[in-house]
Structure 1
Amino acid sequence: MKRLSILIAFMPVLISECSEGKAKESVLDALTEIKEYEAIFHHEKVKNGVVVFYEPKSDGSNGPSPLSTTFIQETSDGWESTLDRGGHTKTSRPFTSHQLLVQADENSPFPMLYGNVTNPDVKHVRITLGDKKIRPKTIHSQGNHIWYAFVDKPTDSSPFIIKGLSEDFEVVETVEHKVGQSSFAGDEVVDDE
Structure 2
Amino acid sequence: MPHTRIKFCGLTRAEDVRLAVELGVDYIGLVFAPQSPRRLLLGQARMLRDLVPEEIAVVALLMDNPPGEVEKLVEALQPDLLQFHGAEEDAFCAAFGVPFWKAVAMGGQAESAFSSLARYPSAAGFLFDGHAAGEQGGSGQRFDWRQMPATTDKPFLLAGGLSPENIGVALRTARPWGVDVSSGIESAPGIKDADKMRRFVEAVRHADAKL
Report the TM range for the smaller structure's normalisation.
under 0.3
Which of 1 and 2 has higher RCO (CA within 8 Å, sep 6+)? 2
Structure with greater Cα Rg? 1
Given the two structures, how large is their TM-score scaled by the length of structure 1? 0.26
Q: Which has the higher helix share?
A: 2
Q: Which has the higher strand share?
A: 1
